[in-house]
Amino acid sequence: MGKWADGAGTLTVPGGAAVPLEVAASYRARRRGLLGRDGVAGALLIVRTNSVHTFGMRFAIDVAYLDRSFRVLSVVTMRPGRLGMVRPRGRHVLEAEAGALAGWGVRAGVRVHVETGFAEGPDRGGLTEGPTPGGLTEGPTPGA
């Protein structure tokens, strides 16, 4: 499995603006997600998961299920106290406040761009070296 780490990054949607991104990679960060918060500035990427819940949430969220090449499989809005469906082809989940993903142009079929300070190899999600020093960005996935 690739090397993911908790941290910050940037989410870019084709034709859209750059959005601040928080990455939840550790067991603890993925388990906590947005629980106990009153909101989120930007978005949260939860890696290595294909389902989420909103039990204990204080606000409604948009959830985008992403495949291994960061292509959006589906986007749903979930109110607090809900259990999301498992997406078998899903590899990562993007969460934001309700309505935010549509405003950024995130919809099924769109491939989002993730830039972070860590990497997953090209065979594990399509991340390759990026333009910023020490940063890595999503690039073409072999065979895609």
Write the single-letter amino acid at 129: E
Place 30 in a pLDDT band, splitting at 50, 70 and 90.
confident
Contact by Cβ (8 Å): 135, 115:
yes
- Per-residue model confidence as pLDDT tens digits over 67-124: 999 999 999 999 999 999 999 999 999 999 999 999 999 999 999 999 986 544 333 3
Count of CB atoms situated within 10 Å of the CB of 138? 21
73: closest CA among 42, 51, 99? 51
In the predicted model, is pLDDT for residue 58 greater than 60?
yes
What average pLDDT does the structure give for the chain? 81
Q: Beta partners for 138?
A: 127
In the predicted model, is pLDDT for residue 127 greater than 70?
no
- The CA distance from 59 to 34, in Å, is 9
